[in-house]
Chain A
């Protein structure tokens, strides 16, 4: 039976299931009052800046509907930017504009939008169309990330990002998410993005999946996925480990992008990171999580935690 796996086998492989994740890891290690810090990207950004982490540069924030009319002035000086909802989830409502002349705005696929389109998108964000539970939201305008040349052929339209699961401050597992035509340029695995398991020690690619099934090449660009190696890997791990102190969340998904000019940048944090990372790495999370649970609560600094991880999970 290839399409089914017995629960005993899963347990033996140390696969973390949704119920266990929700009860033991999210409820057990993430205090509810801390959720707004990560659910609101603007707050995360402020925290990260305060903690000295690099983040995409903020161009402006649209808080109120009446500010929407003046958005053109805000955008005038920006050659390329993206507009995103502050409380959005799953990459919803992110509009990327890579060029414009104040009349026409071009998306990465060269589709052109008018200023009216931009304004409407912004109002939709404010009305809560993309936010969790439809609550009113803010629109964030950021500098566009110029992603590393390394990955130019590994991604279709979107920006590839690196998701690292951080448990009690220890980065335990990582994957790279590459957008595809199927995922419509979004880096969400369940929408069809490719997940590439990244070895937590070396930063090199291992296994890769799309739609939860193994693949070898990027479906659109046909690049061999196993060749991926992430530069500044140690720096990424360090950044991820720092997010623990910054957010106070014990079980955390850290999303990092590699900017060609500024290096690794913290994109966002997720208090309910998904489980697909296990399929991408072809390995269960539980053994690593338990390894850390067993440790006495040593007040390790982020550097020590990264060293521990690189020594233990080799």
Chain B
């Protein structure tokens, strides 16, 4: 028992490592446990409309980036006749359209898709450097000073102070009237922040609502306090950021900067999309380091390959169960896994029929070869060539009979089939056809079971998205490998002993 302890420790270690990594992936990378889960994504379209004067045009539209709550999945434009460049490296990301000559009404589109994403941890841009307050006429400056003084008394920090100030702006106060006399409410708010020395930025935001057109943007004030950020709706003075508030622009600049046109107008259209998590994650992580996302960062073709590879341990596990717990005999220990893998490429029925057809025909040919008295290597080589010819023949025949599934036969591993034929034929000569049927049937049965498990949607999802679970499989296989109990078949095999037991006691 003593030497068993390290073994169990290893098993426990493997299981906890495996489950741990899976849980980590689930929590930190939001990989769902079950396939078919969906996420909410928003397609937003900015429509820029203006009248061109007939000359060169340069139009610049600020564009949004990933931000807390939203992840940019993809973006694009529709602007025939315009040169296009993304200015994403600049402080305020923008898209720039340009053309040599245009006249009349012009419409340019920019589209972006955002994933509603609680896990997005890209920080907000840092607080802006406070600007020197402008010099104001005496009465205005006094009024502002009084408002600020009052707000400071009623607040605890910069955010609450900003709230007080914006709240005050909503009142019909005399001082407020004086301040808003020759500037808009928004400008007043920004001015007050400057005077009070509160780090804040004016931002342009969109409220996302399903299937809306012709929406306008809204002005918000973003107030910084140490590590936190608060949002205030500048029109109402209300604090808070609705979950579906997408901040479009954060540089306190106009959304549009146009040369060579007039009557500019920008409006937004938006709609909610439901995207499968898988796709959402693939897009989200397509340019993040491979360490974090492992297999999703590989090119599609390799991903496909790994999808198959990661299923093999599951198949191996099925074989293991059938051997150790049930006691089924198969020809070639892991041949069933290979058949199952091939079946996954073909349709099940066509695959099985093709396999049986090739093996059966191969056996007939092999029985002739055995009379030629060849060396083993030569015989197997001959069988391989024959198997390849057979698959080619069957494929052509199937194709001409319009059985497209017949073509899938090429997915079967030729060399494995050749060995199977060789083994079965030896078995036939030595132990007779019955044993061949028994082992062949056993192999097919296990292959079928392995296929059913491996082609399961949930299993495929789990193995591919949580490679850590392979360690759990490994641990299970280690446990199975030390199982000393009876096999199911032995319960039948040794049943005559029960008779004897009764005789003795009775």
A interface residue numbers (CB < 8 A to B): 2-7, 9-11, 13, 15, 17-20, 23-24, 92, 120, 123-124, 127-129, 134, 191, 207, 209, 212-214, 275, 278-279, 282-284
Contact = CB atoms under 8 A, between A and B. Distances in A.
Contacts of B327: 18
A19 B339 CA distance: 26
Contacts of A18: 327, 487, 490
Given A9-B498, A17-B486, A207-B500, 9 more contacts: A2-B499, A5-B491, A5-B492, A10-B494, A10-B497, A11-B486, A13-B498, A15-B494, A23-B484
B90 to A, nearest CB: 68
Contacts of A283: 497, 500
Contacts of B499: 2, 214
A19 B494 contact: no
A23 B481 CA distance: 8
Contact of A19 (B484, B492, B495, B496): B484
Contacts of B485: 7, 17, 19-20
Contacts of A20: 484-485
B426 interface: yes
B484 A17 contact: yes
Interface in B457-492: 482-487, 490-492
Contacts of A24: 484
Nearest to A20: B484
A282 B497 contact: yes
B375 A212 contact: no
B376 interface: yes
A289 to B, nearest CB: 13
A282 B486 contact: no
30 contacts: A3-B495, A4-B492, A5-B495, A7-B486, A9-B501, A10-B486, A11-B486, A13-B494, A13-B498, A15-B486, A15-B494, A15-B497, A17-B484, A17-B487, A17-B490, A19-B483, A19-B486, A20-B484, A123-B375, A127-B376, A129-B376, A129-B426, A191-B431, A213-B496, A214-B496, A278-B494, A282-B496, A283-B497, A283-B500, A284-B497
B301 interface: no
Interface string B406-443: 00000000000000000000100011000000000000
Contacts of A6: 491
Contacts of B490: 10, 15, 17-18, 275
Contacts, number: 85
Task: Give the size category of B's interface with A.
Answer: 20 to 34
Contacts of B493: 212, 279
B373 interface: yes
Contacts of A4: 491-492, 495
**A-B pairs with lowest CB-CB distance, top 6:** A20-B484, A17-B486, A282-B500, A5-B495, A5-B498, A127-B376
A209 B499 CA distance: 13
A11 B498 CA distance: 11
A9 B495 CA distance: 10
A283 B500 CA distance: 8
B452 interface: no
Interface string B314-331: 000000000010010000
A23 B478 CA distance: 13
A84 B494 CA distance: 32
B496 A209 contact: yes
A6 B491 CA distance: 6
A1 to B, nearest CB: 8
A27 to B, nearest CB: 10
B40 to A, nearest CB: 52
A77 B367 CA distance: 35
Nearest to A21: B484
A293 B362 CA distance: 50
Contacts of A278: 494, 497
Contacts of B498: 2, 5, 9, 13
Contacts of A2: 495, 498-499
Nearest to A131: B376
A123 B373 contact: yes
A20 B486 CA distance: 8
A129 B366 CA distance: 14
Contacts of A129: 376, 426
Contacts of B426: 129
B188 to A, nearest CB: 84
Contacts of B491: 4-7, 10
Nearest to A91: B430
Contacts of B495: 2-5
A215 to B, nearest CB: 11
A233 to B, nearest CB: 23
Contacts of A3: 492, 495
Nearest to A6: B491
Nearest to B480: A19
A207 B483 CA distance: 31
A240 B471 CA distance: 45
Contacts of B431: 191
Nearest to B484: A20
Contacts of A17: 484-487, 490
A124 to B, nearest CB: 8
A206 B431 CA distance: 28
B375 A127 contact: yes
Nearest to B380: A134
Nearest to A184: B432
Contacts of A128: 376
B496 A212 contact: yes
Contacts of A275: 490
A278 B494 CA distance: 8
Which residue, of A5, A23, A134, A207, has the highest number of chain B Cβ atoms within 10 A? Answer: A5
A5 B494 contact: yes
A191 B431 CA distance: 7
Contacts of B486: 7, 10-11, 15, 17, 19
A313 to B, nearest CB: 16
B497 A19 contact: no
Nearest to A182: B432
Contacts of B496: 209, 212-214, 279, 282
